Amino acid sequence: MTRSITLATIQFSPSDDVQANIDRVAGFVEQAAGRGADVVLPPELFCGYYFCKTQEEEHFARALPWETHPAVVQLTEIAKKFDVVIPVSIYEKDGPAYYNSLVMLDADGAALGVYRKSHIPDGPGYQEKFYFRPGNTGFRVWDTKKGKIGVGICWDQWFPEAARAMALMGADVLLYPTAIGAEPQDACLDTAARWRRAMLGHAVSNVIPVCAANRVGDEQGQAFYGTSFISDQTGEVVAEMDRAKEGVIVATFDLDMIDRERAAWGFFRDRRPDLYGSLL
């Protein structure tokens, strides 16, 4: 029997109401499931406004332990109801430590664990180092009921070694929840195209489908440019959103065919070991 996977990406404009945002994601998941989705990817930190554009102590109150986070608890039931995998992006508090994290919910509602964002940006409008410490989980690939899924979070998407590490760990697909848009230091700088090209490179050099979910709309003067997409293993964009609309896009992939194609290209066969003899 041929293995296949149907990926869905959610693009929307969150309010700063946690419950309203969870409800909206649940609604989009239902739409995606109705279109045959196996995996449904919401954007990064979708529970509220993107708060990292400035350094304000009050925002630490947004963080909660992942096991009891309302987005995780409520979307667990949604994942189970619709038989879909949902990677849930949250602001996590673990004792005195704060992380930009993702909890992988399997299609039966089981929480498979947490990934903590490895690469933390720090610049105008994206001052994340004030709020998050670098993750301590390493890159992760989850063996879900729908396939082996690797997930990076936003800034991780710019680093080819992260994508390669997850591919070497056996990922069938790579997913990237994101919050990216205007660059406040330069109104003429638009990074949307290069943001996409970076991830399309991951698809090409690892022969793997890539799915990216971004926010859209204006959040207290900070505009997010959407353009969420799904690409195939050749880097061809097969589904995409524009800079304004909210909604869901869906694409299906033949994983057995892609696995054969990956083997034929020889990217992993011809990897040279590092000085310590490791292929990782």
Roughly what angle, to the nearest 10 degrees, separates helices 70-82 and 18-34? 20
| β strands within the chain, DSSP E | 4-11, 39-41, 86-94, 97-105, 111-116, 122-123, 126-127, 141-144, 147-151, 173-177, 210-213, 216-219, 222-225, 229-231, 237-240, 247-254
154 is an active site residue: yes
Token representation of residue 216: 């859209």
Whole-number Å distance between alpha carbons of 133 and 141: 21
93 is an active site residue: no
189 phi and psi, to 5 degrees?
-85, 120
Whole-number Å distance between alpha carbons of 39 and 37: 6
User: For residue 240, is it left (φ>0), alpha (ψ between -120 and 50) or beta?
Assistant: beta
Judge contact between 140 and 150, C-beta under 8 A. yes
Which one from 117, 128, 146, 219 is the annotated catalytic residue? Answer: 117
Element housing 186 (H / E): none
Reported residue count of the chain is 280
* Interacting residues of 138 by C-beta distance below 8 A, sequence separation 6+: 118
Which one from 44, 92, 128, 219 is the annotated catalytic residue? Answer: 44
44 is an active site residue: yes
Which one from 92, 154, 211, 219 is the annotated catalytic residue? Answer: 154
Judge contact between 262 and 254, C-beta under 8 A. no
Q: Could you give the residue numbers annotated as active site?
A: 44, 117, 154
